[in-house]
Amino acid sequence: MRAALERSWYRPGGAWILLKPLAWLFGWGVALRQMAYRRGWLQTERVAAPVLVVGNITVGGSGKTPLTLALVEKLKAKGRRVGVVSRGYGGHAAAYPARVTADSSPAVCGDEPLMIASVTGVPVVVDPRRPRGARWLVDQENVDIVIADDGLQHYALARDGEIAVTDGRRGLGNGWLLPAGPLREPQKRLSTVDLALTHGAGADFWLAPGAVHALVGDESHVLADFRGDTMHAVAGIGDPARFFAMLREAGLAVIEHAMPDHHIYEPDDILFDDSLPVLMTHKDAVKCAGFADAQHWYVSAELVFDPSAEARVDTLLERLCAHGRTQESPTP
């Protein structure tokens, strides 16, 4: 039911029309919450380092996490000690803040924070209370810039820069707020961020396929090595169709297995009654490594910037780096 409703957001007509009254109520709630933070009725907390928020105004995947990975690498190249704070969607830790390492369980920290920690090696912490998690990064890991992954609507954490990402293929759907459409906030929110970037072919940035890595052992290939082969393709991301299309463009014949975003995998989800290879995303692989075998591979992705967009990103990062560590303001 939920999947069918979400598909209707990106098609003319559909069941979402019946939900317009609920979308109006949701919009009033969003506006009231934003006003409460602007007027100080709800508390905003600042930490002693610049904070860059990466997020979107739609539900579902838009390329936020690959962009976060690219931003981390850019900041590392500038000599900054960067840390990432995330809500940890899908994970349930015994206590927060919860430090994430490459050996953490996705059941504890969620899939995206685990992938960020595994790929970048920077300090990553999950905490439903973002200010507490960000403060922990500054105090315990001595980071000098914090990236809040998927934090655009978490106004309790004061921020020094905002990047909003939109999926170029799906756009903003029907343009309605939840639950009639995919929007978390009205479209005009995009005009208030420092950078509004679009993800997709020919847009501000896109993802190119990288190496193909075995989940068991250390074997790797390039995607072209599989050209002409038939294989299973598993994707539990915001837009599985994008992953499947990338494989087909590389010349592979794929049997699609689309899973919900943040899907909690069981062995039967990736173990099929044949000997065909199974390809998945890195985000899926971190949750499947414990029961994978020699058939299972993940495709790494390399983010490519449009030169103009990259210049704007670099300018924002330079501004944030110039802030340096700030004196933490007292809690009101």
Could you report the per-residue pLDDT of 1-52, keeping only the tens digit for each? 666 777 788 887 677 888 999 999 999 999 999 999 999 999 999 999 999 9
Check whether residue 135 and residue 198 sit in a common domain.
Answer: yes
Position 143 in a domain: yes
Position 3 in a domain: no
The pLDDT confidence band at residue 89, using thresholds 50, 70 and 90, is confident
Check whether residue 30 and residue 161 sit in a common domain.
Answer: yes
Q: Which residues are annotated as a binding site?
A: 58-65
Q: Which helix (H) or strand (E) holds 240?
A: helix 240-249
Check whether residue 104 and residue 145 sit in a common domain.
Answer: yes
Check whether residue 137 and residue 56 sit in a common domain.
Answer: yes
Check whether residue 20 and residue 168 sit in a common domain.
Answer: yes
How does strand 230-235 pair with strand 161-167? unpaired
Question: Per residue in 136-157, pLDDT tens?
Answer: 999 999 999 999 999 999 999 9
Neighbours of 192 (CB within 10 A): 11
Separation of alpha carbons 157 and 133, rounded Å: 10
In degrees, to the nearest 5, what angle opens at C-alpha 69 toward C-alphas 54 and 144?
Answer: 70
Closest CA to 68 of 83, 49, 78: 83
Output the pTM of the full model.
0.91
Check whether residue 116 and residue 25 sit in a common domain.
Answer: yes
The pLDDT confidence band at residue 324, using thresholds 50, 70 and 90, is low
Check whether residue 147 and residue 215 sit in a common domain.
Answer: no
Position 164 in a domain: yes
Q: Which residues are annotated as a binding site for ATP?
A: 58-65
Question: Per residue in 179-209, pLDDT tens?
Answer: 999 999 999 999 999 999 999 989 999 999 9
* Contact indicator for 231, 275 with CB cutoff of 8 Å: no
Position 4 in a domain: no
> Cα–chain-centroid distance for residue 28?
27
Q: What length does the chain have?
A: 332
Position 232 in a domain: yes
Q: Which domain holds residue 223?
A: 207-304
Check whether residue 61 and residue 148 sit in a common domain.
Answer: yes
Q: Which amino acid is at 198?
A: T
What pLDDT, on the 0 to 100 scale, is given for residue 327?
40
CA distances 208 to 74, 167, 249, Å, are 18, 15, 11
Check whether residue 261 and residue 226 sit in a common domain.
Answer: yes
Which residues in 131-194 belong to E strands, given as ranges? 145-149, 161-167
Check whether residue 232 and residue 174 sit in a common domain.
Answer: no
Check whether residue 149 and residue 241 sit in a common domain.
Answer: no
Structurally, how many domains does the chain consist of? 2
The pLDDT confidence band at residue 245, using thresholds 50, 70 and 90, is very high
Q: Which tokens go with 197?
A: 């970037």
Position 240 in a domain: yes
Check whether residue 180 and residue 123 sit in a common domain.
Answer: yes
Position 329 in a domain: no
Question: Per residue in 105-120, pLDDT tens?
Answer: 999 999 999 999 999 9
Query: Which letter, b or e, does each residue of 162-177 get, where b requires 16 or more Cβ atoms within 10 Å of its Cβ?
Result: bbbbbbbbbebbbebb
Position 6 in a domain: no
What pLDDT, on the 0 to 100 scale, is given for residue 332?
35
Alpha helices in 15-83 (DSSP H): 20-38, 64-77
